Amino acid sequence: MSVSPAPGELEQKGRVLELVLDYWRDVDTNWGSGAHLLFTQDGVFESERMRLAGRAEIKAFYDWRRGRGERVARHLVANPRVHMTGADRATIDYIMTIYAMDGVPVLPVSAPNLICDVTETMVWEDQRWWIAHKHFNTLFKGEVAATVMPPEILAVVRTGDTNAG
């Protein structure tokens, strides 16, 4: 049973959800070109197979992904639940279903690539919400693997050594 939200809390919860939806819209329709700008400077994006720390690493991932060529992706958000954990902090939990494949539409489809639980921690700074931490907990994996930046490429990003890898 839910308790009625405090005045203004419903608006803030809506803003948190809107940030999540804006992020995935950018990833699905703009190759993630602006996704890194929705994180705090030291924001973290992590799953069981990859951890990106800071805007530069997150941007490098989407730049690398875009450089691989055409891809169609849709990240479906279901059952979102926002929890205000302070005046300037919130978490949102949701179920993510990912359909993605290299190529151009129309592509064949069977099972989703992934179904996972996602938990994001948000912080309120400079009059807006930012993603501080995005964590994926994979529950189901399809036959087509989700995109993960190879460790040797991520190592180059982290060291800045373009002659490595």
What is the span of the domain harbouring residue 47?
A: 9-157
On whether residue 162 sits in a domain, the answer given is no
Q: Residue 161: pLDDT above 50?
A: yes
Using CA atoms, how far apart are residues 6 and 14, in angstroms rounded to an integer?
13
pLDDT digits (tens, 9 = 90+) for 13-31: 999 999 999 999 999 999 9
Q: What is the CA radius of gyration of the chain?
A: 17
pLDDT of residue 165: 46
> Quick check: 18 and 26 in contact, CB under 8 A?
no
pLDDT digits (tens, 9 = 90+) for 38-79: 999 999 999 999 999 999 999 999 999 999 999 999 999 999
* CATH number of domain containing 149: 3.10.450.50
Full-model pTM:
0.91
On whether residue 4 sits in a domain, the answer given is no
> Quick check: 144 and 113 in contact, CB under 8 A?
yes
On whether residue 163 sits in a domain, the answer given is no
Q: How many domains does the chain have?
A: 1
On whether residue 25 sits in a domain, the answer given is yes
Cis peptide before 106 (omega within 30 of 0): yes
On whether residue 122 sits in a domain, the answer given is yes
* Distance of alpha carbon 39 from the chain centroid: 10
On whether residue 34 sits in a domain, the answer given is yes
On whether residue 84 sits in a domain, the answer given is yes
pLDDT of residue 145: 85
Using CA atoms, how far apart are residues 132 and 80, in angstroms rounded to an integer?
17
On whether residue 165 sits in a domain, the answer given is no
